[in-house]
Structure 1
Amino acid sequence: MTDVLTLGETMGAFRAAGPFRLGGTAELTVAGAESNVAIGLARLGHAVRWTGVTGADEIGSLVRRTLLAEGVDIAAARITPDASTGLVLFEPRTADITRVLYHRRSSAGSTLSTEDVRRAFDLGVPRVVHVTGITPALSGTALAAVTEAIGLGREAGSAVSLDVNFRSKLWSATEAAEVIRPLLAGVDVLIASDDELPIAGDHRVPEVVVKHGADGATVRTPDGSWSAAAHRVTVADTTGAGDAFVAGYLSGLLDGLDAEERLRRGTAVAAFAVATPGDWQGLPARTDLDLLDLHSGSTVR
């Protein structure tokens, strides 16, 4: 059985030691909000399927190889010879501010379609369908794919989660709201940061999870509201922290944890993510979670 199906664009990611205009070295890896969540869930022991489109190029091979190595099912992913895999560039501008530059216009990932989603469902109905507000901004076919995933998930009895994940370089907040708000009628779990909640508007989603960054997270359900503090760790890179939180929260949902415990698992997974450079490299295995209970500076022998 598939625990989670997620869909979206995963790109080649270059991480530079300084501004790109000055040249120098850069590390090549991969990045994408939905695949970050997929990797996080897979490391926690869940069966995860990712569907998306990569180009018939070396970067696409890197994306597929990385996801396979992390235990993510990519049987429903598609390779197209008609477009290139997108790229994302990360450059540090201060000690704690990173600028993100995209090269993804007309990319392979933007050609995601309803056929891709149906193929993923044909391989097995997931317990949870997870989508983000990034994918609908990529193209009309990508928006249709997200709509199809939500609809098929509802029909099949899957829980549907949506992380707003607003990207100002893809569209305006007004444009995002016009697209995302109609989708919420089919969503069971809405996830957003404080500044993204206005995009969702006056929603009626049963479960609303709000990420507060260093201040933790809260959740509101028909049974009440709960909060969880963030874990205090030495921060190396906040990129991907929100996706890490989502992976932990959905893991708790799959394991039948109560709302407060779901939050705690989310903040725990996010703590590991921010303590290591990269979008997903620091994501923990399930056996790692108890390490946060140790005193600072402890060594596990």
Structure 2
Amino acid sequence: MISKIADGAIVCAGRVYCDLIFTGLTELPRLGEETYAKDLAVEPGGGGFITAANLSALGHKTSLLASMPGGPFGSAILEKMERSGVDLSLSPFDMANGAQVTAVIGCQEDRAFLTKRNGAAIPKDMLTAFSTSSAKHLHIGELATLQEVPELLEIAKANGMTVSLDCSWDQNCLLSNDIKSLIARVDVFLPNEMEARHLGYLDNPDLCPTLTVVKKGKAGATALTSDGEITIAADPVEVIDTTGAGDAFNAGFLSFWLRGADIKTCLQEGNKCGAAAVTRIGGAP
């Protein structure tokens, strides 16, 4: 039985990954050599879920629309996901689903990822259920999901929702000819600094087709608006793990943007959530 999404909820879409987070490294592994991590954690990952969990912690009704990893990888993270307060009825767990895993290699204040995707980003029957939603906002956690399921935009706009989009580095997506036309159809685009530079938005902000918020890690964030740039620096914190910090930032920014707050306030709140995320293992609270 699929439960009805709560009126006015925020739906976050995008694949869920089982994150294997290796921390305590002083350098990244090199070919032909072996590197040893100090610690290993297993956490639910994927931009859709991490943003949803942070929005839930901020008091919002949230629902996840996602393909879940199967087998032991899904079982390893399901209990933590269920404790998040996020409605998972549009993201059914199926043991038969294939592996969907990310190895996160944390080194000092940055990290590298190795990821295995599996199957469709959104289960087809769950997309149909979403089409009857009375949610107020759709957040798409990765560009690859939007490129694979562009009808997400059609459904959201037909139902009067606003839409936000994270990038989540994927070079094939960023090189696609249609990518900027897809970005132009969302209300808020939330890339990190590397992604924004790759798209040419940092060198020429006039190219930004919509409100674009560039996440810059410990340097804070910059909003590229029709009235110019607004930058808010982040307060320094002790960094434990940067996994999901950008997705946590999204939650803080969107929480206040959806309430009609000014951009400066939205950036400040995004920075707070991003800073809190790097002080723990994994991006979800």
Please classify the TM superposition score into its range, dividing by the shorter chain length.
0.7 to 0.9
Displacement of 1:225 in angstroms is 4.0
Deviations 1:50-98 (A, max 9, x none): 0112255233234443222100011111344653131111234x43343
Q: Quickly say closer, same or farther: Cα 1:143–1:235, change in 2 above 3 A.
A: same
User: Counterparts of 1:268 and 1:156 in 2: how far apart (Å)?
Assistant: 31
User: Counterparts of 1:229 and 1:98 in 2: how far apart (Å)?
Assistant: 21
Q: Which structure has the highest helix share of the two?
A: 1
Partner SS, residue 53 of structure 1: coil
Picking from 156, 161, 164, the partner of 1:158 is: 161
Deviations 1:85-142 (A, max 9, x none): 31111234x433433222x24x25x3524542231242x3221111134433xxxxx7
Please tell me the residue identity of whatever aligns with 2:243.
T
- For the pair 1:59 / 2:73, whether they are aligned, the reply is yes
- Matched residue, 1:229: 233
Q: Quickly say closer, same or farther: Cα 1:23–1:144, change in 2 above 3 A.
A: closer
Q: Quickly say closer, same or farther: Cα 1:6–1:271, change in 2 above 3 A.
A: same
Please tell me the residue identity of whatever aligns with 1:67.
M
Picking from 31, 34, 37, the partner of 2:45 is: 31
Partner SS, residue 98 of structure 1: strand
Q: Quickly say closer, same or farther: Cα 1:180–1:125, change in 2 above 3 A.
A: farther
Please tell me the residue identity of whatever aligns with 2:160.
G
User: Counterparts of 1:61 and 1:253 in 2: how far apart (Å)?
Assistant: 35
User: Counterparts of 1:198 and 1:24 in 2: how far apart (Å)?
Assistant: 33
- Matched residue, 1:44: 58
- Matched residue, 1:288: none
Partner SS, residue 54 of structure 1: coil
Q: Quickly say closer, same or farther: Cα 1:85–1:51, change in 2 above 3 A.
A: farther
Q: Quickly say closer, same or farther: Cα 1:188–1:35, change in 2 above 3 A.
A: same
Q: Quickly say closer, same or farther: Cα 1:211–1:22, change in 2 above 3 A.
A: closer
State whether residues 235 and 274 of structure 1, in contact with CA within 8 Å, keep that contact through their aligned partners in structure 2.
yes
Picking from 7, 10, 26, the partner of 2:13 is: 7
Displacement of 1:11 in angstroms is 1.4
Larger relative contact order, structure 1 or 2 (CA cutoff 8 Å, min sep 6): 2
- For the pair 1:246 / 2:250, whether they are aligned, the reply is yes
- Matched residue, 2:109: 96
- Matched residue, 1:293: none
Per the normalisation by structure 1, the TM-score is: 0.77
- Matched residue, 1:255: 259
Please tell me the residue identity of whatever aligns with 1:5.
V
State whether residues 147 and 173 of structure 2, in contact with CA within 8 Å, keep that contact through their aligned partners in structure 1.
no
- Matched residue, 1:125: 134
State whether residues 117 and 148 of structure 1, in contact with CA within 8 Å, keep that contact through their aligned partners in structure 2.
no
Displacement of 1:264 in angstroms is 0.7
State whether residues 3 and 254 of structure 1, in contact with CA within 8 Å, keep that contact through their aligned partners in structure 2.
no
Per the normalisation by structure 2, the TM-score is: 0.81
Q: Quickly say closer, same or farther: Cα 1:130–1:83, change in 2 above 3 A.
A: same
Q: Quickly say closer, same or farther: Cα 1:81–1:52, change in 2 above 3 A.
A: same
Displacement of 1:31 in angstroms is 1.1
Deviations 1:178-237 (A, max 9, x none): 2421212321111122322255453421x2212122221122334554221111212222
State whether residues 41 and 281 of structure 2, in contact with CA within 8 Å, keep that contact through their aligned partners in structure 1.
no
- Matched residue, 1:295: none
State whether residues 236 and 275 of structure 1, in contact with CA within 8 Å, keep that contact through their aligned partners in structure 2.
yes
Corresponding residue pairs, total = 265
Please tell me the residue identity of whatever aligns with 2:44.
V
Deviations 1:228-254 (A, max 9, x none): 111121222222111111110011112
Instruction: Give the alignment's Cα RMSD to 1 decimal.
Output: 2.6
- Matched residue, 2:219: 215
Gaps of at least 5 residues in structure 1 are 137-141, 282-301
Displacement of 1:44 in angstroms is 0.3
- Matched residue, 1:291: none
User: Counterparts of 1:96 and 1:59 in 2: how far apart (Å)?
Assistant: 26
User: Counterparts of 1:101 and 1:229 in 2: how far apart (Å)?
Assistant: 30
Displacement of 1:23 in angstroms is 8.4
- Matched residue, 1:188: 187
